[in-house]
Structure 1
């Protein structure tokens, strides 16, 4: 499998018209967002991983280049919200840039939890660009699992 290339030749664009069309779209979108303060980290939605243990949900969100003071985590009923802003660096004048693919601006991610967390049930830690959340399940949610006996044969008629 070939790795994607950052640079293409004009021959590449002639042999693959869809690649040329894709490149034109990317350039148009890049030009559209250039003057806008709402450039995104991954289209404004940070990638997350969600895992469930017996007594908690564990959520990790990738936020590279974001300072922990610029991250906000909140819970509104059963909605978990991760939001914040990646701030731009201001050292652009010292070099003549040819390519810059870093993005800046606000980000937002919201997800529904299957329960409303109790006060103090959410812990947040930020380490090396990754936000780690642990959301403890309420006691009533952990005990709600029941085993149902499966009986052999057809169900009785309700006639």
Structure 2
């Protein structure tokens, strides 16, 4: 009945970068019923990240064990940090008989919403012991401002 309205509702939620709404979940279910429950498990995304803020600096820490910094790229676009990379397969040894391979390989991408405007030019990244730490100073000029209400 409301199926024709769902694309418009979805466009609105994407435009304001809201979490998935019921309309988004229903649209996904009608498009691909087998994978529609995927958004419910977003917390299991790779890589695992921590986002914190202190004294006007946003800090993002991502666990990237087994990767080199050259295998990872970072970009900031529209108040989101985009982390992309590739974990390469280490090559199969013919003498080993594998019974199970659980480690994941291949390309990955993670979009991390930032809690406000940041100064991209002053961003810094450090990679130490498999943990990528990105620091992004907040843009004080773009901070939310209150609007005084006048009584007429």
**What TM-score does the superposition give when structure 2 sets the normalisation length?**
0.60
Distance in 1 of aligned mates of 2:49 and 2:125: 14
Shift of 1:102: 1.4
Aligned-residue RMSD, C-alpha: 2.5
Q: Which residue of 1 is the match for residue 48 of structure 2? A: 47
What whole-Å deviation, never above 9, does each CA across 1:53-96 have from its counterpart, x for those lacking one?
01201110111111210100001131210111000011331211
Name stretches of at least 5 consecutive residues in structure 1 with no aligned partner.
Answer: 1-41, 147-157
Unaligned runs of 5+ in 2: 1-42
Say if 1:99 and 1:52 are closer, same or farther in 2 by CA, change over 3 A: same
Match of 1:93, SS?
coil
Residue 25 of structure 2 corresponds to none
TM-score by length of structure 1 reads 0.58
- Distance in 2 (CA, whole Å) between partners of 1:124 and 1:52 is 15
Aligned partners of 2:119 and 2:139 also within 8 Å: yes
Q: CA deviation at 1:50?
A: 0.9
Larger Rg: 1
Instruction: Name the structure 1 match of 2:125.
Output: 124
Task: Tell me, yes or no, if structure 1 residue 68 matches structure 2 residue 36.
Answer: no
Counterpart of 1:56 in structure 2 is 57
Seen in structure 2, the aligned counterparts of structure 1 residues 100 and 123 have a Cα distance that, compared at 3 Å, is same
Regions of 4+ moved over 6 Å: none
The Cα of 1:43 is off from its aligned counterpart by 6.6
Q: How does 1:1-150 map to 2 (within 5 A)?
A: 45-140=46-141
